[in-house]
């Protein structure tokens, strides 16, 4: 179901699902140079992959990881000029690539031989694709505009901006299935509390009146429904948000929030982790006849609600991958009411690996390459939401129908 390849500067996977071809690419410049030289090298490499797969002009979502915060506007100009009127929804994330380059780029393209995939572009912040009775809304690079300095007020402002951006295209925030919340100095102090805890307080308050996917959701085991999410640290002090929403006009498709049998649900965490617990699902599956697309939330070395393998980056990476395997596995789908679907780590099509300390890169990469193979992967430096956590991993998996034995 998934074809994966890697060569110098690029790793990519190709997924044929419902007659549409999904191409996921992770690119780093093949040589050092100026920002423009490195950016064009990575962009041209991605473009060549899309052309090879017959999906030229199909990139709909893109994340750019930057070594230097002060080069963000220069990078945006380069990318806007490169794509012209085919600009993807693009987020610029101030997280240094682990390999020392000035940037790394993750891109997703969707196309189909002979047409049949409709793509509408609304600037760098929003792209809508439609195929097979589902619309996918990619919203990127939302930042607060308020003059307030506190994380809570800035987070509420960014959530409201994202809600308005979606509403401009007739999409309710209740249709969001995946969010990314990038927060500078994530474990830093905010008054007498922590910046990440204030982000969670804002998210809880903003989500209070929403009922996500009431018409299409198979309820999670405890009845709670929230989007999948990653909350991760960045350089600087800003907050940047992005999301994916869907609109379903096709029978037999359900939205399934997945919780992990190895972990306490994040929204059930005790008060020691914040006044208001994080409101997100461990993963969100969009399941149709025969297959499911799974958005895997940022996952770390936690079992129940406790951090495991303190001070051991390899051990934390192994545990994190074990957690993802349990989350997307057939047994967990069965526990959530869909017994004929399930995925393995081999069904991941894309991953991001956030590493707290540069010196742990080699050890973490070795574990990931051994267990994930040629999977297109971005490795970036980003602080994790607990000071003792050294690694966080997220991804997209595709769960094929499986015959259960026994």
CB-based burial label for 388 (10 Å; 0-12, 13-18, 19+) = middle
Higher-confidence position of 266 and 33 = 33
| Chain segment 235-276, per-residue pLDDT in tens | 999 999 999 999 999 888 989 999 999 998 888 776 655 678
- Span 22-26, mean pLDDT? 97
Comparing CA positions, the residue from 294, 400, 399, 287 lying closest to residue 351 is 294
pLDDT given at position 31:
94
> Is the pLDDT score of 343 beyond 90?
yes
> Is the pLDDT score of 137 beyond 70?
yes
> Is the pLDDT score of 341 beyond 50?
yes
Comparing CA positions, the residue from 214, 212, 188 lying closest to residue 199 is 188
| Chain segment 79-91, per-residue pLDDT in tens | 999 999 999 999 9
Q: Kindly indicate the confidence band of residue 55, based on its pLDDT and cuts at 50, 70 and 90.
A: confident
pLDDT given at position 272:
59
- Span 314-323, mean pLDDT? 98
pLDDT given at position 327:
97
Predicted TM-score (pTM) of the model is: 0.96
Q: Torsion over CA of 130, 138, 72 and 86, rounded to 10 degrees?
A: 10
In whole angstroms, give the CA distance from residue 63 to residue 93: 7
Q: Kindly indicate the confidence band of residue 136, based on its pLDDT and cuts at 50, 70 and 90.
A: very high
| Chain segment 138-180, per-residue pLDDT in tens | 999 999 999 999 999 999 999 999 999 999 999 999 999 999 9
In the three-class reduction of DSSP (H, G, I as helix; E, B as strand; rest coil), residue 71 is classed as helix
The fraction of the chain above a pLDDT of 70, given in percent, is 95
pLDDT given at position 222:
57
Instruction: Quote the mean pLDDT of the chain.
Output: 93
Domain spans in the chain, listed from the N-terminal domain onward: 2-400
């Amino acid at each position: 179901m998934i074809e994966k390849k890697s060569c110098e500067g690029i790793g990519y996977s190709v997924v044929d699902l419902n007659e549409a071809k999904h191409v996921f690419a992770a690119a780093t410049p093949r040589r050092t140079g100026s920002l423009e030289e490195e950016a064009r090298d990575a962009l041209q490499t991605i473009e060549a992959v899309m052309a090879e797969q017959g999906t030229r002009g199909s990139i709909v979502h893109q994340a750019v990881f930057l070594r230097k915060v002060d080069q963000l506007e220069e990078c945006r100009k380069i990318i806007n000029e490169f794509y012209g009127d085919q600009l993807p929804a693009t987020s610029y994330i101030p997280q240094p690539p682990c390999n020392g380059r000035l940037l790394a780029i993750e891109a997703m393209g969707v196309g189909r031989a002979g047409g049949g995939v409709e793509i509408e572009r609304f600037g760098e912040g929003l792209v809508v694709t439609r195929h097979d009775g589902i619309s996918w809304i990619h919203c990127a690079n939302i930042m607060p505009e308020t003059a307030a300095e506190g994380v809570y007020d800035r987070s509420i402002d960014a959530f409201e901006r994202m809600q308005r951006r979606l509403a401009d295209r007739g999409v309710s925030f209740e249709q969001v299935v995946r969010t990314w919340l990038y927060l500078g100095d994530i474990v830093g102090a905010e008054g007498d509390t922590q910046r990440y805890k204030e982000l969670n307080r804002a998210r809880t308050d903003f989500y209070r009146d929403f009922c996500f996917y009431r018409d299409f959701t198979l309820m999670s085991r405890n009845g709670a429904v929230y989007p999948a999410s990653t909350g991760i640290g960045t350089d600087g002090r800003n907050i940047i948000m992005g999301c994916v929403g869907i609109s379903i006009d096709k029978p037999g498709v359900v939205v399934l929030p997945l919780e992990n049998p190895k972990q306490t649900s994040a929204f059930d965490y005790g008060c020691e982790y914040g006044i208001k617990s994080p409101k997100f699902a461990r993963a969100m599956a969009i399941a149709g006849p025969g297959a499911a697309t799974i958005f895997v939330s940022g996952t770390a070395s936690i079992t129940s609600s406790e951090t495991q393998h303190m001070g051991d980056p390899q051990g934390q990476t192994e545990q994190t991958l074990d957690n993802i395997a349990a989350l997307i596995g057939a047994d967990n789908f069965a526990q959530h009411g869909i017994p004929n679907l399930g995925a393995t780590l081999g069904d991941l099509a894309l991953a991001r690996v956030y590493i707290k300390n540069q010196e742990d890169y080699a050890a973490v990469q070795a574990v990931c390459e051994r267990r994930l193979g040629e999977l297109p992967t971005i490795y970036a430096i980003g602080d994790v939401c607990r000071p003792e956590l050294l690694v966080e991993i997220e991804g997209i998996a595709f769960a094929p129908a499986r015959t259960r034995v026994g």
